[in-house]
Chain A
Amino acid sequence: MSRLWRRNRHWVTPALFLLPGLILFGTVILAASIETVWISLHDWDGIGAKTWVGLANYIELADDPQFYVSLKNNVIWLLIFMLAPPIGLALALIVNQQIRGMRILKSLFFVPLVLATVTVGVVFGWVYDPNFGLLQLLFGAFGGTAPALLSDETFVTFAVAAAGLWPQIAFCMILFLAGLNSLNDDLIAAGRVDGARGWRMLRHVVLPQLSQVGFIAIAVTVIGALRSFDMIAVMTSGGPYGSCTVLAYQMYQESIFSYRFGYGAAIATVLFVIMIVFIAWYLNGLIKAERSNA
């Protein structure tokens, strides 16, 4: 027995090590995500029995104007979030100096990232308040009146996404700062010797070396944009009149408020498919990068 154990422990123990994490992640995250697809083929109130309805939920979804509002808003989020990598890079370039006192200033830039999205929501609720918000302060200084962004159907999604941009820029900035810190100094020096400076240095020497970081910054930003939920829930609850929902939020509403879990699952499945495309693209890029590094 003991001999058998000694001979086999080198693979039995690792298998036992792997199992708890794998089982937990596999059931709670992966299997649940797949189960969503299954539920989307049913009519279900979340409590009683499920009734098989086939693709009925999807057919209904195809005619649901709210679905197209959500889809359009997801695209808006994506576009606005695409500002995060360039702004993050610009800020990183601005602060990348080693001077006494810079360390603390740099870390102050990162603060939005560690705030809860609820906190960011509350803070930007302040900013956008039409009576006394920062925005009003700004408009007031020019003698104007700030628009009530959060109750304006046209602007609300832009306003909420802009709030979400705040921590996302900080995230990109951290990534680019790390990238700038691992630049090959010899290449920079060689570039200086060759007379490259300023914009040309950035374009031809620095940016090529940041391509991997840039890829990751864009990827996490895309994924972050598609995951947006908290900010909408906190700032507008999808309103006014459902004009700023995204797929994730609409799904939540249909399930939790309307008890239409099958329909919600169908929306989740659409989101799932979109995400899988992006995640596959991201993993593929990562693997390529790892191969070329090795």
Chain B
Amino acid sequence: MYPRPIPEDARIQRALYLGGVALVVILWLLPLLAVMLTSIRSNEELMAGNYWGWPQKFSLIENYKAVFEQTAMLRFFLNSLLITIPSVIGVLILSTLTGFVLSRYPFRGSNLIFALFVGGNFLPAQIMMIPVRDLMVRLGLYDTVYALIIFHIAFQTGFATLFMRNFIAALPGELFQAARAEGASPFQTLRHVVVPLVRPALAALAILTFTFVWNDYFWAIVLTQSDAVKPVTAGLNNLRGEWTSAWNIVSAATIFVALPPVVMFFMMQKHFVAGLTMGAVKG
């Protein structure tokens, strides 16, 4: 361990340390806390200039109710789910397949294909924007959730393939030889050996992909136009333009958008961190 652990019996030192770190956390999250505080403040207070003081009156319910009733955020939220869930499922399926093949069936060119997946995953979205947009227009998918689903599956498959390939490559090779010697076909090996063994990797990948897709803003504005298909991120930005002075409503909507990934993160934190750091650390 580095730095040296604070000893168990140094109670005071431990308490001071915890308090100090907690203070740093508060400073670190201060911008977010401010928005949270504003989201439960009433409009009158904001008008009166009370941005930072303790709220005289809590308008949590009113503000969030306003978000649901007077804005299209609920619709956007639903759209986001309609886009994100199929995307995550598609990515998990495709990357399990590609990762399995690239880790367990060496062939000439497999390393090149793998490098393309990894390299392509780092390209900025803007580089492929024009052709992708054009492609979706020609397919008649522009301004539908399918355009976003297809794009997200394609793009996330790059990272997800890297992830699954490394995970499966780290499983003991003799398990796969045994399956083959026992007469299992590649499909049976996939179903009875790979899928049960990669469950933890799939969990990590699911939360990561969910976060990436849910948080996407760029493709949302490039591939959609109408409120009927727009996801929350694009919706939130529009909302900000429309409700310029109602900071409490904008704040409530912001928290509402941030909630799903944050909740997912806290529920599956271990998987999230493991997924993100995979490959970054030896061993």
With a 10 A CB-CB cut-off, give which of B2, B180, B217 has the most chain A CB atoms: B2
Contact with B along A228-267 (1 / 0, CB 8 A): 0110011000000000000110011001100001001100
Which residues from chain B contact A124 at a C-beta distance below 8 Å? 31
Instruction: Choose among A35, A181, A268, A283 the residue that contacts B119 (Cβ–Cβ < 8 A).
Output: A283
Q: How far is the CB of B77 from chain A (nearest CB, A)?
A: 13
| B interface SS class | helix
Which residues from chain B contact A182 at a C-beta distance below 8 Å? 281-283
Q: How far is the CB of A188 from chain B (nearest CB, A)?
A: 6
Asked if A185 and B1 make an inter-chain contact with CB atoms under 8 angstroms apart, the answer reads yes
How many angstroms from the CA of A220 to the CA of B173 in the assembled complex? Answer: 31
Which residues from chain A contact B134 at a C-beta distance below 8 Å? 46
A30-B116, A108-B29, A233-B217 are known contacts. Are A272 and B123 too (CB-CB below 8 A)? yes
Which residues from chain B contact A265 at a C-beta distance below 8 Å? 130
Contact with B along A255-294 (1 / 0, CB 8 A): 1100001001100110110010011101100100000010
Instruction: Choose among A96, A233, A286, A293 the residue that contacts B3 (Cβ–Cβ < 8 A).
Output: A96
Asked if B281 and A230 make an inter-chain contact with CB atoms under 8 angstroms apart, the answer reads no
How many angstroms from the CA of A180 to the CA of B3 in the assembled complex? Answer: 9
B residues 7-44 near A (Cβ < 8 Å) are: 14, 17-18, 21-22, 24-25, 28-32, 34-35, 38
Asked if A24 and B154 make an inter-chain contact with CB atoms under 8 angstroms apart, the answer reads yes
Task: Say if the beta carbon of A53 comes within 8 Å of chain B.
Answer: no
Task: Say if the beta carbon of B178 comes within 8 Å of chain A.
Answer: no
Asked if B124 and A118 make an inter-chain contact with CB atoms under 8 angstroms apart, the answer reads no
Q: Which residue of A lies closest to B220 (CB)?
A: A118
How many angstroms from the CA of A90 to the CA of B236 in the assembled complex? Answer: 34
Task: Say if the beta carbon of B265 comes within 8 Å of chain A.
Answer: yes
Asked if B266 and A107 make an inter-chain contact with CB atoms under 8 angstroms apart, the answer reads yes
Asked if B237 and A118 make an inter-chain contact with CB atoms under 8 angstroms apart, the answer reads yes
Asked if B233 and A116 make an inter-chain contact with CB atoms under 8 angstroms apart, the answer reads yes
Which residues from chain B contact A35 at a C-beta distance below 8 Å? 130-131
Task: Say if the beta carbon of A59 comes within 8 Å of chain B.
Answer: no
A101-B18, A175-B277 are known contacts. Are A275 and B49 too (CB-CB below 8 A)? no
Which residues from chain A contact B161 at a C-beta distance below 8 Å? 21, 25
Contact with B along A108-123 (1 / 0, CB 8 A): 1111101111110111
Contact with B along A168-187 (1 / 0, CB 8 A): 00010011011111110100
Interface stretch of the complex, out of A78-86, A126-134, A144-152:
A126-134
Q: How far is the CB of A287 from chain B (nearest CB, A)?
A: 8
Task: Say if the beta carbon of B257 comes within 8 Å of chain A.
Answer: yes
Which residues from chain A contact B158 at a C-beta distance below 8 Å? 25, 29
Asked if A105 and B52 make an inter-chain contact with CB atoms under 8 angstroms apart, the answer reads no
Contact with A along B221-245 (1 / 0, CB 8 A): 1100000000011101100100000
Task: Say if the beta carbon of A202 comes within 8 Å of chain B.
Answer: yes
Asked if B30 and A134 make an inter-chain contact with CB atoms under 8 angstroms apart, the answer reads yes
Task: Say if the beta carbon of A226 comes within 8 Å of chain B.
Answer: yes
Contact with A along B152-193 (1 / 0, CB 8 A): 011101100100000000000000000010000111001000
A residues 1-54 near B (Cβ < 8 Å) are: 9-11, 13-15, 17-18, 20-22, 24-33, 35-36, 39, 46
What size tier do the contact residues of chain B reach? 35 or more
The interface size of chain A toward B, counting residues with CB under 8 Å, comes to 108
Instruction: Choose among A11, A99, A117, A283 the residue that contacts B115 (Cβ–Cβ < 8 A).
Output: A283
Q: How far is the CB of B233 from chain A (nearest CB, A)?
A: 5
Task: Say if the beta carbon of A137 comes within 8 Å of chain B.
Answer: yes
Instruction: Choose among B157, B215, B233, B280 the residue that contacts A24 (Cβ–Cβ < 8 A).
Output: B157
| A interface SS class | helix
How many angstroms from the CA of A127 to the CA of B258 in the assembled complex? Answer: 17
A36-B130, A111-B262 are known contacts. Are A234 and B217 too (CB-CB below 8 A)? yes
Asked if B215 and A174 make an inter-chain contact with CB atoms under 8 angstroms apart, the answer reads no
Asked if B35 and A264 make an inter-chain contact with CB atoms under 8 angstroms apart, the answer reads no
B residues 200-226 near A (Cβ < 8 Å) are: 211, 214-218, 221-222
How many angstroms from the CA of A67 to the CA of B2 in the assembled complex? Answer: 46
Task: Say if the beta carbon of B146 comes within 8 Å of chain A.
Answer: no
Asked if A111 and B32 make an inter-chain contact with CB atoms under 8 angstroms apart, the answer reads yes
Asked if A14 and B186 make an inter-chain contact with CB atoms under 8 angstroms apart, the answer reads yes
Asked if B262 and A36 make an inter-chain contact with CB atoms under 8 angstroms apart, the answer reads no
Q: Which residue of A lies closest to B156 (CB)?
A: A25
Q: How far is the CB of A217 from chain B (nearest CB, A)?
A: 8
Instruction: Choose among B17, B102, B247 the residue that contacts A99 (Cβ–Cβ < 8 A).
Output: B17
Instruction: Choose among A18, A206, A264 the residue that contacts B2 (Cβ–Cβ < 8 A).
Output: A206
Asked if A126 and B34 make an inter-chain contact with CB atoms under 8 angstroms apart, the answer reads yes
11 further A-B pairs in the complex, CB-CB below 8 A; given A13-B186, A21-B97: A35-B130, A99-B18, A107-B266, A112-B29, A116-B215, A119-B233, A132-B51, A229-B126, A233-B218, A255-B130, A268-B129
A-B contact list, 10 entries, CB within 8 Å: A9-B185, A17-B97, A105-B22, A110-B265, A110-B273, A118-B257, A174-B273, A223-B122, A234-B217, A269-B127
A residues apposed to B, CB below 8 Å: 9-11, 13-15, 17-18, 20-22, 24-33, 35-36, 39, 46, 91, 93-99, 101-102, 105, 107-112, 114-119, 121-127, 132, 134, 137, 166, 171, 174-175, 177-183, 185, 188, 192, 201-202, 205-206, 212-213, 216-217, 223, 226-227, 229-230, 233-234, 247-248, 251-252, 255-256, 261, 264-265, 268-269, 271-272, 275, 278-280, 282-283, 286, 293
